[in-house]
Every structure is written in structure tokens, then in C-alpha cells.
Amino acid sequence: MPIASWQIMKGGCLCGAARYEITAAPLTVANCHCSMCRRHSGAAFLTYAAFPRDKVIFTGEIPKLYRSSPEAERGHCASCGSPLIFVFDADQDTIWIAVGSIAKADQLVPQEHWYVADKLSWVALDDGLKQWPGAPGTTAVTQILGETVKRSPK
């Protein structure tokens, strides 16, 4: 079921200290298979939903930020460590929310897979979603699924 742009979504961390409300429909929902997302989440991949940053309001503790790369920061609950957010330096107007932290996460259906070139070998991607070898919209062009896409250099 798609989220209506007027519907308020709520979510937060495992312990309840870091809470937020979202007042916009997601821009996209993606499963990221990069090694940093795997380590950040402790899972085979991490599903994020992108929202306009001004439509996400933290109502509890603000996530503790961690610079995970020269290009981005990740945020987690300072008390329980739950992964919550991701922000690219080049796109400060968008905040990526860890879908598992959203109360009605089943309403946010992934639309694509990122960094499939780095996915774990036992992860089967047979769901028909678009697959990017890296992240869309970055440099270095490659071919996948018959489409020209942009890919970050390794």
C-alpha cells in the first residue's frame, strides 16, 4: 500500500529514545548491499527510504552522527545503537531513514537494489526490482540489465 503524501509516519529506535515523524511520501526506497550498510546494520543489506529532510522531525533524542566515509554520515540511537539515518554530503536536502525503524514499514516497498556488485554471494535477487552495480547518479558508466547506468568507481 503506497503512503499518501499527507499521512504522518512515525518511527524510532529499539529503546524508544530516538523518535521521529515523517510528513511526506518517500522519494524512493532502496535495498543497499554495500559493505558499510551491512556493517552498520549487521544484516545482509539495509533498506532505506529517502525523504525531504525538512519533512522529517525528530521528536525524541537526535541520532548520534558518525562519519562513515568522506561522502556521508550515518546516525544511530546513542542509547541502544539502532541504525536510523543516512545523509550524503552532496545532498543535504534528503535524509535516508532505515525502513526497519519506521512503525508501518510494510507500507514502504523497495523499488531498487544498490551496490549489487558488492552483495553477499548467497543473497538471491529474484524480485524483479531494478539492480544498480553501485549507487545511481554517481560517476563511471557501466551496463546492467540492458540499461546505461552510472556507477561509483571502486
**pLDDT tens digit string along 20-51?**
999 999 999 999 999 999 999 999 999 999 99
Q: Give the pLDDT confidence score for residue 137 in this predicted structure.
A: 66
Does residue 106 belong to any structural domain of this protein? yes
Does residue 70 belong to any structural domain of this protein? yes
Q: Which residue has the cell 535524509?
A: 95
User: CA–CA distance from 96 to each of 14, 74, 123, 127 (Å)?
Assistant: 18, 9, 23, 22
DSSP state of 38: H
Does residue 1 belong to any structural domain of this protein? no
Nearest to 129 by CA among 38, 34, 43, 29: 29
CATH number of 59's domain: 3.90.1590.10
Domain count of the fold of the chain: 1
Nearest to 67 by CA among 59, 76, 78: 76
For the chain, the farthest-separated pair of C-alpha atoms sits apart, in whole angstroms, at 45
Which residues on adjacent β-strands are paired with residue 58? 20
Q: Give the pLDDT confidence score for residue 46 in this predicted structure.
A: 96
Query: Strands 112-114 and 28-32, how do they pair?
Result: parallel
> What does the pLDDT look like over 63-86, one tens digit per residue?
999 999 999 999 999 999 999 999
Q: Give the pLDDT confidence score for residue 142 in this predicted structure.
A: 32
> What does the pLDDT look like over 83-119, one tens digit per residue?
999 999 999 999 999 999 999 999 899 999 999 999 9
Does residue 92 belong to any structural domain of this protein? yes
The pTM score is 0.83
**Residue 80: domain span:** 9-150
Does residue 84 belong to any structural domain of this protein? yes
Does residue 90 belong to any structural domain of this protein? yes
Does residue 2 belong to any structural domain of this protein? no
